[in-house]
Structure 1
Amino acid sequence: MAQIVDTSDFRPGLKIKWEGGMWVILECSHHKMGRGGAIVRGKLRNLETGSSVDQSFKSGERFERIIFDEKPAQYQYKDGEDFVFMDMESYDQVTLSPDVLGDMVKFLIDDLEVSFDMYEGRVMGIELPNQVTMKITDTPPGFKGDTASGGGKPATTETGLVVTVPFFVENGEEIVVDTRTGEYLERAKK
């Protein structure tokens, strides 16, 4: 039985069927119009082609929610532009393009355990763990007394992701990053 959602259920990460395709909501905001009804503006990415669109929907529009089966997998390596994963059940290698993965490629470190999003036997994408430990490859040095300001400095990780970190974090250190927000959480425990 299909699960139906309407625009009031929209949130980043929700997957829906729309215009004959499968889409994931990347961003959404609700807007109340003067005398008319409310509208929901959203940015959606097609799960099959990787293309993104900005779209407005009338409040109350209904859609079929897509619920994926999950299957354990592990990121192996980058092959040219594509990313190779191993299915942890069958040990088959599955190659996914950056179009399908979107911004998730910034969190792919060697041997990262993920889940395949499966729909009717096809891999439609991946689910990342909520946190990933990454190594800092480039950040300016901190200076004594910088901690009082409570700010931060930019740091580039091994995958190219730029994160704002506290001043005491140095090159070569490992940090924990939230994959949902892309924010620094803490220094990795040794």
Structure 2
Amino acid sequence: MKINGNEIRPGNVIEHKGGLWAAVKVQSVKPGKGGAYAQVELKNLIDNTKLNERFRSSESVEKVRVDTKDFQFLFENDGMLTFMDNENYEQIELARDFIGERAAFLQEGMAVTLELWEEKPIGINLPEQVTLEITETEPTIKGQTAASSYKPAVLENGVRTMVPPFVTVGEKVVIDTTEVTYIKRAD
């Protein structure tokens, strides 16, 4: 579907320069001289390269329709992650590099959403939050206020993050999987 350059929004997937690109950031610019344009930060969905482009409202780009499908994470074996399609129970294997560092948050049985283009996986959405146990952190120092300072901690999956001083080893905490930040103690 063709759209004008000024209609590009974050999250849109477009065909540009022979590749598939996701719009990460979009800024409308209206210079004092000349026509308005959209300054768009694009991320290549195949090789993860980034590109900044200007699109004028008179230009048109091809917006790509991306399908989403629900999958369940089963297991990891030799750097390959196995997922099961929730509709037909077929399994698909993806390289750990496909997800990158966020693969550490995958847990057996976790529901994920794969983004597909022409039946080929081009992206994955993990749950926004996961609950993990703190395996290592510094002891609380008496008199340290919780308002201003955070301390380093290691989660059960080996990921490092910052937590408030009142959090101790063995506690379960809720972590944001996108920003890798502490949200709250688990209930």
TM-score, length basis structure 2 = 0.78
- 1:138 maps to which of 136, 139, 157: 136
Return the alpha-carbon distance in structure 1 between the equivalents of residues 77 and 108 of structure 2.
Answer: 13
Return the alpha-carbon distance in structure 2 between the equivalents of residues 101 and 29 of structure 1.
Answer: 27
- 2:65 maps to which of 58, 64, 67: 67
Could you tell me whether the CA contact under 8 Å between 2:5 and 2:55 is conserved in 1? no
Q: Deviations over 1:125-146 (max 9, x none)?
A: 2222222222223322222222
Q: What aligned pairs does 1:54-93 form with structure 2 within 5 A after superposition?
A: 54-60=51-57, 62-93=60-91
Structure index of larger Rg: 2
Cα root mean square deviation, aligned: 2.9
Decide whether aligned partners of structure 1 residues 32 and 160 sit closer, same or farther in structure 2, where only a CA change above 3 A counts.
farther
Over the matched positions of the two proteins, sequence identity in percent amounts to 33
Q: In the alignment, residue 5 of structure 2 is paired with which amino acid?
A: D
Return the alpha-carbon distance in structure 2 between the equivalents of residues 170 and 5 of structure 1.
Answer: 53
* Aligned-residue offset at 1:113: 0.9
How many equivalent pairs are there?
185
Matched, 1:53 2:37: no
Could you tell me whether the CA contact under 8 Å between 1:76 and 1:84 is conserved in 2? yes
Could you tell me whether the CA contact under 8 Å between 2:6 and 2:37 is conserved in 1? no
Decide whether aligned partners of structure 1 residues 111 and 98 sit closer, same or farther in structure 2, where only a CA change above 3 A counts.
same
Decide whether aligned partners of structure 1 residues 172 and 17 sit closer, same or farther in structure 2, where only a CA change above 3 A counts.
farther
Q: Secondary structure at the match of 1:55?
A: strand
Q: In the alignment, residue 50 of structure 2 is paired with which amino acid?
A: V
Structure 2 runs not aligned, ≥5 long = none
TM-score, length basis structure 1 = 0.77
* Aligned-residue offset at 1:31: 6.6
Structure 1 runs not aligned, ≥5 long = none
